[in-house]
Amino acid sequence: MKLQDRRAIVTGGGRGIGRAYVERFLDEGAQVAILDLDIERAEKTAAELADRGTVFALQTDIGDEESVDAGVAAVAERFGGLDIVVNNAAIFGDWKPRDDTFEYLKKITDVNLLGAWLVTRAAAPHLVKSPHGRVINQSSTNAYSYNYSGPTDEFPGLRSYSYAWTKYGTNGLTKYTAAQLGNWGVTVNAIAPGVIFTEALLNAVDEERANQLVASQPIKGKIQASDIAGAAAFLASDDAKFISGQVLLVDGGRFMPG
């Protein structure tokens, strides 16, 4: 029970890795609020996990400033404060990797990167009052995958790299906010999952490609969402109180950035 009585927000916690975070935090003794645009899925998740502890869902559009501010304020009032924020929500399972329009790039940036900033900004006044303030951002090993395998005979136009660049930006956001919030004892770290077999992954890539990526891992085996949740529980705990500004890759050793 490393997180006994800690008050946590998990964005996008209705499914996939987000749900695994909610499950693990409840098992560690935390109270959890799920902020999710898909309120039906989030409420279903909360109902299914109600026997594990205090959990509820609140519809929130992470890419909308007013929605985020209202959602975080409601949670802080209900819990009497905040200790942990997990910025997990992102466009991924319904990501359109070949849509390189500026409009789509802005849409993904609003949710994946600016959304994390909005939630952290709204939560920060509460986190700095907690002796256990933690922010955990969801990055991705896509941030380290620079190769473009498109056609070489004719220039197709500049790609937007929409998902990857928001996750690279998340790494930068993690370091900047860690430097500031550390003055109040709040740690800020990121987790960069590799190939995690969730519904979202199999919507984004086919299973054959996913298995090929797994085969390239030094440590073989399909990484599950629960494996990522263990890393989050550690970063949220007192065991990690002096770890901040770090990006923890959980990908079987596939990427090893210096």
Q: What is the pLDDT of residue 157?
A: 85
Active site residues: 163
Average model confidence (pLDDT) across the chain: 92
Residue spans per domain, the chain? 7-195+225-249
Q: What is the model's pTM?
A: 0.93
CATH of 7-195+225-249, one of 3.40.50.1370, 1.10.10.60, 3.40.50.720, 3.30.230.10: 3.40.50.720
Answer yes or no: is pLDDT of 159 > 80. yes
- 41: burial class by Cβ within 10 Å (0-12, 13-18, 19+)? middle
Where b means 16+ CB within 10 Å and e means fewer, 119-132 reads bbebbbebbeebeb
Token pair of 204, please? 């984004």
C-alpha–C-alpha distance, residues 160 and 96, integer Å? 11
53-57, 116-120, 149-153: least confident range: 149-153
pLDDT value, residue 168: 96
Q: With cut-offs at 50, 70 and 90, classify the pLDDT of residue 91.
A: confident
Q: Which pLDDT tens digit goes with each residue over 170-184?
A: 999 999 999 999 999
Give counts: helices (H), strands (E), the chain. 9, 7
Burial class (CB in 10 A: 0-12, 13-18, 19+), 4: exposed
- Cβ proximity of 31 and 79 under 8 Å: yes
pLDDT score at 209: 75
Closest by CA to 163, choosing from 87, 100, 229, 257, is 100
Using the Cα atoms of residue 60, residue 67, residue 56 and residue 129 in order, give the sign of their dihedral: positive
List % helix, strand, coil for the chain (3-state, nearest 5).
Answer: 45, 15, 40
SS3 18: helix
